Every structure is written in structure tokens, then in C-alpha cells.
Amino acid sequence: MLEFSGVTGGIHNWLSAHFGETGTMLMEMLIAGVVILLGMILMSFTLGYMERKVAAFMQLRLGPNRVGFKGTLQIIADTLKLLFKESFAPGTSDKLLFNLAPFIVVVVTMLSIAPLPIDPALQLFDINIGVFYVSSVTSISVIGILVAGWSSNNKYSLLGAMRSGAQIVSYELSAGISLVVIVAFAGSMKFSDIVLSQADAWWIFKGHIPALIAFVIFIIAGTAELNRAPFDMAEAESELTGGFHTEYPGMRFAMFLLAEYVNLFILAGIGATLFLGGWMPFHLWDLEGFNHVMDYIPPVVWFFGKTFFLIFVIMWFRWTFPRLRIDQLLTLEWKYLMPISLVNLILVALVVIMGWHF
């Protein structure tokens, strides 16, 4: 069976044998950094390709099919094109902030990918406040977007950035509260604990009504936090041309794109971990035989299967829904999602105290 504990444990033992405690830690940090970077790039390539194919599937097109096998190398060709473009900044822009903004966005993404448990042994650091850490780190990305919009010195960018600021700050709340629901069920913020607590069944089944409500709210609010359609107010192509990244050329534009795709992966990953059991196979309480069969599918496959299912759902939103207007967007959050999630929080507290969940 494919498990990473052998690999990671082997590396750890080998390093400890050769470098001592501090050296091992430093080397592991280095390896983790490289793995995150490569993983991010790989993930954005995969999702970029997937998005094009999904869009093409929904729009009666073929999608990329020329470069490489079935167009798989198209995205690499596009990246190369962006790399060779002139790194241009508008004359009236604030150069320092203009150049800094994409990096803020990407660094935030790198920070938030770390505690995702992809496999029992493949989790870069299992912090005991994992859920809290992720939800707080991802909220920094709004600074990157605001800085990008402000420093471009372009009215479209400014409008896009302001929209994005209002949107992310609002939807953070209901996304956070729906995460708290699962924290209340599992009794821990640690991702590994949350996954282990779903060994008998996933929280979306065990937590019945409150978990289901929280899941729906999480998907909606998460899509809004990602600035993806139908909540792509910040870009709003038909209104603001390109929104906050109107002025960005070449690779710095690609970095926003990269961050968007990796954020999509992180969001889907968190959703899969909290609600759908993460790497935990599909178990049903007492059905020993069934559970045993499910255990044969490696955890990595489970994790990526669930994650990519959620990613597909979010892409599906993007290619079928029209965009909301900015005031409707805020109305949806403050008048509907937020009250519902607060009530849901009370409900979940009741359910947990009375032990009504399975």
C-alpha cells in the first residue's frame, strides 16, 4: 500500500543519523520549503489545465489539445510566454508596493498550505491550532490585493481592490464560523485530530444537519474568498476589465494566477479534511468488511479524490453562474449567510452538549 510514513520516516532517520538535532531540523525545513514550492507550481499547473478542460467541457469546446499529450504542456508553454514578457510597471505606480504585492499573495498561499494533512505522514507541520492558523493566515492575502490595487494607480484596479477588500473581510466571518462547527464536533483545532475523529464516519454524515449547513456555507463563502465567479467582483472582467491586476504584466500577473489556483486547492483541501474526512477512507460505523475494503485505497488517493471533487464543484459554479453585484454580494453575506451560520453555531453547541450527533 502506498504510504508516505516510510519515505518521510526514512528521510528523518537518515538525517538524524548524519546531522544531529539542529542540522536535521534545518535540513527538513529546507526540504519542506522546496516541496511546498514544487507542489504549488505543480498544483497550479494541474488546476490550470483542469480548469481549461472543465470550461471546455461545459462550453462545447475541446480546450487545449495541441501542446503535449492532450494539451497537457499548454500551461507550461503559457508560463514560458509570461516569463519572457517584459516586466513592466506603469510610470505613475508606486514601484515598491507594485512589485511587492504579488509576493505577499504568494507567500500567504505558501504559509497556508503547510498544515494540510495530505497523508497520515505527509503533513508539513501539525500545529495544534491548525484550523485557526489557516483561517487567520489566508486573511492576510487581502492585504496583497489591496496593495496591488492601490499601487497600480489605476481607477479600475482601485475599484477592484476595494471590492475585494470588502468581500474577503465579510466572507471570512461565515467561512470561519463554519469551520468552528467542525472544531466543536471534533473538539480539537489540530488537523490530524480532526481527521482521526472521522475514523468511523465523516463529519458531514456524523454531524447531520449542522454539519451540512456549515458545509454549504463554507463552500459559498470559500468561493467568495477566492474571488472566483460568481463572486469575482475583484476582477469582474466585463465591468473593471481586470480588476486589481489590470496593470500587472508577465510573471507578476502569473503569480496572482498561481496564488488563485493554489488557494483553490487549499480551500478544497480544508473542506475535504474537515467535512469529508481528509485522507480518511470512507468508513461506515460497524461494517467491518466494508471498512476493510475501503482501507485498501491509499489515503493520498482519498485526499486528492475529495479535494478534486470539491475543486470541480467550484469550477462548475464559475462556468455556469452569472456574477453578483457588489451590494448583492454583501447582502448575501450579512443578511443571510452570517445569521444562518450564527444560528447554526448555537445549534451545533446544543448538538455537541446533548450528544445528538453520531
> Residue 304 has which C-alpha cell?
486528492
Give residues 236-265 in contact with other proteins (rule: CB under 8 A).
236-241
* Comparison of 57 and 358: residue with beta carbon closer to other proteins: 57
* Minimum separation from the CB atom of position 336 to other proteins (A): 12
Among 230, 249, 250, 305, binds other proteins (CB under 8 A): 230
Residues 6+ apart with CB under 8 A from 30: none
- Output the DSSP codes for 305-331: HHHHHHHHHHHHHHHHPPPPPHHHHHH
Angle at 154 between CA 152 and CA 156, to 5 degrees: 120
Tell whether residue 320 is a contact of other proteins (CB under 8 A).
yes
- Output the DSSP codes for 132-182: HHHHHHHTTHHHHHHHHHHHTT-HHHHHHHHHHHHHHHHHHHHHHHHHHHH
Per-residue string for binding with other proteins, 136-165, x by CB under 8 A? Answer: -------------------xx--x---x--
Tell whether residue 216 is a contact of other proteins (CB under 8 A).
no
Strands annotated E in the chain: none
> Residue 322 has which C-alpha cell?
452569472
Among 28, 232, 260, 333, binds other proteins (CB under 8 A): 232
Specify the stretch interacting with other proteins by CB under 8 A; choose among 100-108, 138-146, 234-242, 262-270.
234-242
- Output the DSSP codes for 106-130: HHHHHHHHTT--SBTTB-S---TTH
Tell whether residue 322 is a contact of other proteins (CB under 8 A).
yes
* Minimum separation from the CB atom of position 195 to other proteins (A): 35
Among 55, 140, 251, 340, binds other proteins (CB under 8 A): 55
* Comparison of 126 and 237: residue with beta carbon closer to other proteins: 237
Q: In whole angstroms, how far apart are CA 269 and each of 93, 105, 184, 227?
A: 36, 19, 19, 17
Give residues 326-345 in contact with other proteins (rule: CB under 8 A).
326-328
* Comparison of 62 and 199: residue with beta carbon closer to other proteins: 62
* Minimum separation from the CB atom of position 320 to other proteins (A): 6
Total residues contacting other proteins by CB under 8 A comes to 28
Tell whether residue 58 is a contact of other proteins (CB under 8 A).
yes
Q: Cα separation of 225 and 223, whole Å?
A: 5
* Comparison of 233 and 268: residue with beta carbon closer to other proteins: 233
Strand partners, 122: 119
Contact footprint for other proteins (CB under 8 A): 55, 58-61, 155-156, 159, 163, 229-230, 232, 236-241, 319-328
